[in-house]
Structure 1
């Protein structure tokens, strides 16, 4: 077949799994830049993100989904709905399992949804191979194989780049013929405002850890480009109680200052300009149970 007669293929690859399985880290390494936020805190990912990998003859759309879990509030229900919705529509499903944690009921629950999906190709991906012992990897693979009838399996380490290219090649080989769904110069379907809010929330998660991360939401209110080299950004951090506001602000304002400094570095790389970041903390009682607030934060699923 001549070069000009090579068929164009395209499709959607959903990364699914339990919280902290390594979905966002894998996506970032594939894209060669930080697009999805990561942290050791479970359920860090709240927004579905589509990242686009273009070649001359294919377009691979990789979807980072929230970790599937047992929901405790309206926010948790929306995150599950988002992940399961992407699972239902994907051409390829990559089920990520953490090599360092025993396969459990949560993985079984996710695997049941993977098994019921209409995806043409289902790939088992064992992550974090760099921090797992060889015997752990072998045991995890054996346990994970029983969860679903997978078409193939792959062991990866996103942090060391091990088998990342192999992952892209493997899923790309199973894309159907189709159109270019997104423009060639587009690498992610999130707006600058959405990415700014995510970068701020990541720093809050990293500093607060288990104190109150899941009670925190972030909205980017405005991005004002004063010229080609400078931007002023205002963002609001939502918490549920007055005491939480004090934790986010910190003694003498030190916590919110540090969050702003670290978030600004990522935002400046994103926007390629100097940024003045103005963060405000506001109490919004029980916002995680308020569907209107969840929609405003961008965590809801469009029907």
Structure 2
């Protein structure tokens, strides 16, 4: 029982807490959706395609008693390219620098080799608090969820990983999202507010815009193409000479693929597919930035960019 005058971790009540939480898991386990649910706004893309997230985006949860900085990393996987190796290095570096690592295990899938590989790697990080999340509980019944929680606990024992908590949660339905936020606050150290009120992320606006365009481009594509897609925003500014009450945000972006055949897939017959991407992306960009957007979108080939260090640097990796 928590005594009167103490916080959830036994410390003095009323002290402000702040710290960093990293959501990890196999690709497409609900990390990005959960980040958006906790922040209360869409700041990271949530395509159904694996390996959607490529950059570490910090989402900021503001509370009267605390500030949580949520770090959404790429899914850890066995790399096949230089890009894959760099993304994995990014994940492991982040693990060692945050206060809590939360591992996501979707409740509608059984724990598999990818989960064991990830938790085995995480077990090497000694001084970071680890919790397990049974995500996507809206897609599973009570019996399946109960079985899943037991499997997560057993995985911890197999890998000598101590779970401070195991929490079932659904970002889609909102079930236990508030409870998770309370739990995370209790695990944060006492500390000052790290970001100003109102900030939802520290990702540059160009990075958010590129991610939203990439999300629109990913939907409905063949399985092999998502890994070959990169988006770079070359220019982004409010159009000059517009009335103050009728602003227009001009965004010029390039979609990069690795082969000419992929370029044809993105553009589509009579440019129909590219128009669909532009329409979808423009709606998301307008919603995020709060002003009408003019999106100038082009498709370019950067041959085998995932394996080329020079091309990776050019594309921001």
Deviates more, 1:31-40 or 1:65-74: 31-40
Q: Choose which of 222, 228, 232 in structure 1 pairs with 2:235.
A: 222
- Aligned residue number for residue 292 of structure 2: 274
Asked if 1:296 corresponds to 2:314, the answer is yes
The alpha carbon displacement at 1:251 in A equals: 0.3
SS at match of 1:173: helix
- Aligned residue number for residue 249 of structure 2: 231
Asked if 1:162 corresponds to 2:162, the answer is no
TM-score normalised according to structure 1 size: 0.93
The alpha carbon displacement at 1:85 in A equals: 1.2
SS at match of 1:208: coil
1:185-196 alignment runs, 5 A limit: 185-196=198-209
Gap runs ≥5 in structure 2: 7-11, 157-161
- Deviation by residue 1:167-214 (Cα, 9 ceiling, x = unmatched): 111011110112322222321011111111101110111121415111
The alpha carbon displacement at 1:120 in A equals: 4.7
Residues of 1 paired with 2:259 and 2:13: CA distance? 61
- Aligned residue number for residue 83 of structure 1: 91
Aligned positions, number: 298
- Aligned residue number for residue 216 of structure 2: 203
- Deviation by residue 1:45-101 (Cα, 9 ceiling, x = unmatched): 111111111223321111111101011101111111111111111111111101111
Residues of 2 paired with 1:116 and 1:131: CA distance? 32
SS at match of 2:138: coil
Gap runs ≥5 in structure 1: none
8 A Cα contact 1:52 1:62, kept in partner: yes
Residues of 1 paired with 2:222 and 2:32: CA distance? 18
Residues of 1 paired with 2:16 and 2:87: CA distance? 33
> Are residues 119 and 158 of structure 1, via their aligned partners in 2, closer, same or farther at CA, if it must alter by over 3 Å?
farther
8 A Cα contact 2:95 2:128, kept in partner: no
8 A Cα contact 1:112 1:147, kept in partner: no
8 A Cα contact 1:92 1:119, kept in partner: no
Q: Choose which of 111, 114, 132 in structure 2 pairs with 1:106.
A: 114
Q: Which protein shows a greater Rg?
A: 2
Residues of 2 paired with 1:265 and 1:28: CA distance? 18
8 A Cα contact 2:96 2:128, kept in partner: no
